[in-house]
Structures are given as C-alpha cells and as structure tokens.
Amino acid sequence: GQQVMQIPQYQHVQEGEDFTTYCNSSTTLSNIQWYKQRPGGHPVFLIQLVKSGEVKKQKRLTFQFGEAKKNSSLHITATQTTDVGTYFCAGRSSNTGKLIFGQGTTLQVKP
C-alpha cells in the first residue's frame, strides 16, 4: 500500500539556525498537505501543494512539491522557539479523501 516516509525523525537546532524536513512517497501523489503538532496538541493544517514543482512560502516557511509529485520538503529559515513541534506531511494518491501521514519530524529549538 501507499507509504509516506519522513526524515529526519528528530532535529535539534540552535535558535536562528535553519531546519529542513523531507517527505517521500512510494506512489505519485495528487496533492500533499503539511501539518504541525505542538506537544500535547493536535495536528494543525499549514499548507497544501497540488502542482508539480510548486513552491509556496509562509513567512519563514518554504514548502516544495517535487517535479514527480513523489516528494516534498519544508524549510524553516532562522528558527524560533515558537517553531517547536512535530511537522507531518500527508499525501493523497488520488482524489480519495484518504490522507496518509508520514511519521513526522520533531523539531527542538535551543534558545
């Protein structure tokens, strides 16, 4: 079945350093979504990417969707302590409502 893998599993950075998490799917995706989950909280939607090669920015966050629509990345520039949490990618292989989540990348930021 469809699998979505994320690396790294954990990342510790000094405040101000950059951070990147990578997401790879075993199948071609119709779209990919990114969510953030704070410790003790629930996943919160960040963004959706649909087009091959798409790049979207939200302030210090940059999201990319690969040309083959099988991979994606999230890059945070100049991390802040408020960026702490687990970042999940979640992909769909068709127009079904079913989302497959990656295992997540947990970001710790040292002040």
**Residues that bind other proteins in the complex, under the rule CB under 8 A:** 1, 4, 6, 9, 30-31, 33, 41-45, 48, 88, 90, 92, 95-104
Closest approach, Cβ 49 to other proteins, in A, equals: 11
Amino acid present at 18: D
Q: Which is nearer to other proteins, 7 or 78 (CB)?
A: 7
Q: Which is nearer to other proteins, 85 or 104 (CB)?
A: 104
